[in-house]
Amino acid sequence: MTKRKTNKKNIQHESDAIKYFKRYLKVGPVGLALWRSVEAKHLSRVSLKRPILDIGCGFGEFAEVYAESPIDMGVDNCSRDLAVAAKTNKYKNLTLADAADLPFADNYFGSIFSISTLEHIENVDGSLKEAFRVLKPNGIFFLTLETNEVDEATFYRPLLKKYGMTRFSNYLSYRYNKLFHRKNLLTKVQWRKKVERYGFIIDKSQNIISPEINKLFDILLISAWPSQIIRLITGKRMVFRPQIATDFFASIFSRVLEAEEKDGTNLLLIVRKPKSA
């Protein structure tokens, strides 16, 4: 009997985007899984020096999907979320604190990341100032940020405006932003100027979350309510999705997930604290 030779070129390796998407489908709704898997894909390409700080860790959902080994420190201002995050075993330490008043020594962390968090914080200037203070010289700060472009790239609200229901569309945007505690929807230029104002050097600025993914997120938002209601009760989203459904979603969304964004409603920034700071 002859052994079949394996042609390595024919072996298709699952991309990072698909890998994270499938993981996220086990813990969250489809629309959010699309969004977060893109952020996880980009973060996985960055070398983070320890100790690592996660600002705005929430209830640990992103870390549960992204982290291969425990993150050194997670910070959030919600004690209930931190209690849930502790059960993920994805953090060595968790601290209840305001991002604008971090209880850590100067120059302590080798790296910091913050996933779609600063737009939800009232004192964003104080948060950037504190991140600069606790980061070691030459340390990097990885941020993803929603911008003022998000609402106009959704599906339903522009459609309402197209048919003359501008006031209703604007009201929905107001309610949406209030519901999800979005306090700082700045332009991309404004975000870049803010991080530079507090001493950071921008190593990379990139558009992420394509308009197509943004529209899909908006269309699929209604399907997220069951898991969101469960979160209100238990503190954590729960989904019940068989593997066949996970594979199906991965196959139909693979194109948008694996595409490198030329346009994006959100902003990715990789910034650095100067060596001399």
Tens digits of per-residue pLDDT, 93-108? 999 999 999 999 999 9
Residue 273 · residue 33 · CB < 8 Å: no
Task: Please state the domain count of the chain.
Answer: 1
Of 264 and 14, which is predicted with more confidence?
264
**Distance, first Cα to last Cα, the chain:** 68
- Residue 6 has a pLDDT of 39
Residue 84 · residue 60 · CB < 8 Å: yes
Residue 260 lies in a domain: yes
Average pLDDT, the chain: 92
Is residue 236 very low, low, confident or very high in pLDDT (cuts 50, 70, 90)?
A: confident
Nearest Cα neighbor of 43 from 263, 229, 203, 269 is 269
Is residue 237 very low, low, confident or very high in pLDDT (cuts 50, 70, 90)?
A: confident
Exposure b/e, 52-77, CB count within 10 A at least 16 = b: bbbbbbbbbbbbbbbbeeebbbbbbe
Residue 1 lies in a domain: no
Tens digits of per-residue pLDDT, 153-170? 999 999 999 999 999 999
Residue 263 · residue 210 · CB < 8 Å: yes
| 222: helix, strand or coil | helix
Is residue 10 very low, low, confident or very high in pLDDT (cuts 50, 70, 90)?
A: very low
Q: What is the C-alpha to C-alpha distance for residues 93 and 52, in angstroms, rounded to an integer? A: 11
- Residue 235 has a pLDDT of 86
Nearest Cα neighbor of 210 from 4, 18, 9, 35 is 35
Nearest Cα neighbor of 217 from 168, 268, 265 is 265
Residue 277 lies in a domain: no
What's the rounded mean pLDDT across residues 141-156? 95
Q: What is the C-alpha to C-alpha distance for residues 94 and 83, in angstroms, rounded to an integer? A: 9
Range of the domain at 77: 14-272
Residue 7 lies in a domain: no
Nearest Cα neighbor of 115 from 66, 56, 59, 187 is 56
Residue 2 lies in a domain: no
What's the rounded mean pLDDT across residues 7-11? 36
Is residue 179 very low, low, confident or very high in pLDDT (cuts 50, 70, 90)?
A: confident
Residue 69 · residue 92 · CB < 8 Å: no
Residue 9 lies in a domain: no
User: At 169, which CATH number?
Assistant: 3.40.50.150
Say if pTM beats, i.e. exceeds, 0.95: no
Cβ contacts of 147-152, under 8 Å, gap ≥ 24: 147/185, 147/186, 147/187, 147/188, 147/191, 147/265, 147/266, 147/267, 148/185, 148/186, 148/187, 149/187, 149/188, 149/265, 149/266, 150/185, 150/214, 150/265, 150/266, 151/176, 151/177, 151/185
Residue 173 lies in a domain: yes
Residue 219 · residue 155 · CB < 8 Å: yes
Tens digits of per-residue pLDDT, 109-144? 999 999 999 999 999 999 999 999 999 999 999 999
- Residue 259 has a pLDDT of 85
- Residue 13 has a pLDDT of 55
% the chain with pLDDT above 90: 82
